[in-house]
Amino acid sequence: MHLKSNSVPSVNSYAVTVVGHDRPGIVAGVTGALATHGGNIEDSSMTLLRGYFAWTLLVSLDADLATVETTLAPLAEPNLKIAVIELAPEVTGTQAATHWLSVHGSDRPGIVSAVTAVVAGAGGNITDLTTRLAGTLYVVLADVFLPPGVDVAVLEQQLAAVSAQLGVEVTLRVADNDDVL
Amino acid sequence: MSQELLAQLALDLPKGLVRTAVQAPDPVLSTRCVEVDPCDPATVSLAADLLATMAAAPGCVGLAANQIGVGQRVFSLDVSAHSKTRTHHGRFVLVNPVIEQASRNEKAREGCLSVPDFTGDVKRATRLTVSGRVPGTGAAVIITTDAFEARAIQHEVDHLEGLLFLDRAAGAHAIHARQNYL
Ligand SMILES: [Zn+2]
């Protein structure tokens, strides 16, 4: 027998971004505040970019936007910004990367935009991106989803042309499937 | 491995000069190196310089000629003291190397003297056969190896092709800030 619940909790989904000066306790503070509303942290990604704290998290909880904002507001500081975005319940699923893109060369403006514009022009989607600068060496690594039907050879030619213009090295490789044991 | 092969690889070279290591994004590192005569005295001198430069750089177990600014197909290697090494062929230099067979890929983290700020996760064969020439004698040798020596040889041959480990990074999160242990 199947019983329907009379009171279906209205769980809302939010994206929370926390960006600014790092200090110990930011993660503990934000998760603690969300926990007071039964917040359930789903996917999240946090890193330090040149010492700056950068965190995006997806959280589901039974509260409206204003309540979430009020809950998190005391944790914000002049140099640590917290923003909350309410998400539509249905989000498109994750796209598995089909290719890995590597770019490296002398730092100059416009490398990321020029290379990713070529990918976008072919209908490709960047699913993950890391950029690094050390001295004059600039490195871009991207996971790319190329839909079926994309002519990879043509895309590689276009990337080679852009890399020659920019004076950087660009490599597009088929992403390895993860081993499953 | 045969004693004959080890004897062929063992080098009795004049003491080389410690050369300045080239760092990315220098274009010499992204340019394919050219074949060279293994018996040319200049090649012998280059081999000696590679060994001297490699020995002078802490933690350096392999060095390709373009890493000291010479666009020729020569690399030095010595993984004998490395903890991840299984088979090894001591300290040697190979001229005009060609990878003949490569199998059993495994992902591991590696660094590079020419990319001092990063390490990367790179999938490479753990079983490898490489052919090449010994500097000076010009002897043709075939080296079959595994584990870390196989990885190091592939890293150096990549250099000679104008490739860095950055070109082989396994995804957006495959590059890491290099830890300084000192
Ligand atoms: Zn290297």
Is B137 in a helix, a strand, or coil? coil
Final residue of a domain: which of A61, A86, A111?
A: A86
- CATH number of residue B54's parent domain: 3.90.45.10
A24 and A62 both lie in a single domain: yes
Q: Report the pLDDT value the prediction gives residue B180, as an integer from 0 to 100.
A: 60
Total domains in the fold of chain A: 2
Q: Report the pLDDT value the prediction gives residue B1, as an integer from 0 to 100.
A: 66
Extract the runs of DSSP E, i.e. beta strands, from chain A.
12-21, 40-49, 52-61, 80-87, 99-106, 125-134, 137-145, 168-174
**Beta-carbon contacts of residue A36 (< 8 Å; ≥ 6 apart):** A71
Bridge partners of A171? Answer: A102
A150 and A124 both lie in a single domain: yes
**Beta-carbon contacts of residue A152 (< 8 Å; ≥ 6 apart):** A99, A146, A172
What is the pLDDT averaged over residues B19-34? 97
Q: So what's the ipTM on this one?
A: 0.88
Position with higher pLDDT, A140 vs B8? A140
Total domains in the fold of chain B: 1
Range of the domain at B163: 3-177
A119 and A81 both lie in a single domain: no
The predicted-structure confidence for B48-104, as pLDDT tens digits, reads as follows 999 999 999 999 999 999 999 999 999 999 999 999 999 999 999 999 999 999 999
For residue A134, list chain B residues with Cβ-Cβ distance below 8 A. Answer: 116-118
Tell whether the model's pLDDT for residue B153 goes beyond 50: yes
CA of A91 to the centre of ligand 1 (A): 43
Nearest 5°: the CA angle A7, A8, A13 is 145
Is B123 at the interface with chain A, CB within 8 A?
yes
Spatial separation of the C-alpha atoms in residues B29 and B67, rounded to whole Å = 7
| Number of neighbouring beta carbons within 10 Å of residue A30 | 24
- CATH number of residue A164's parent domain: 3.30.70.260
Final residue of a domain: which of A86, A108, A129?
A: A86
In a domain, B182, yes or no: no
A19 and A82 both lie in a single domain: yes
A127 and A158 both lie in a single domain: yes
A17 and A77 both lie in a single domain: yes
Q: Report the pLDDT value the prediction gives residue B178, as an integer from 0 to 100.
A: 85
SS3 content of chain B, % helix, strand, coil (to 5): 25, 30, 40
Spatial separation of the C-alpha atoms in residues B17 and B32, rounded to whole Å = 24
A47 and A80 both lie in a single domain: yes
Q: Report the pLDDT value the prediction gives residue A3, as an integer from 0 to 100.
A: 46
Q: Report the pLDDT value the prediction gives residue A1, as an integer from 0 to 100.
A: 47
Signed CA dihedral, A125, A129, A133, A137: sign only: negative
A81 and A109 both lie in a single domain: no
Is B170 at the interface with chain A, CB within 8 A?
yes
Final residue of a domain: which of A86, A116, A134?
A: A86
CA of B163 to the centre of ligand 1 (A): 9
Sheet of A125-134, strands arranged across: A125-134, A137-145, A99-106, A168-174
Q: Report the pLDDT value the prediction gives residue A89, as an integer from 0 to 100.
A: 73
Which of A130, A171, A176 is nearest residue B167 as measured by Cβ atoms?
A171
Range of the domain at A23: 12-86
Tokens 């909790």 correspond to: A9
- pLDDT tens string, chain A, 181 residues long: the values are 444 444 445 689 999 999 999 999 999 999 999 999 999 999 999 999 999 999 999 999 999 999 999 999 999 999 999 999 999 876 666 788 999 999 999 999 999 999 999 999 999 999 999 999 999 999 999 999 999 999 999 999 999 999 999 999 999 999 987 767 7
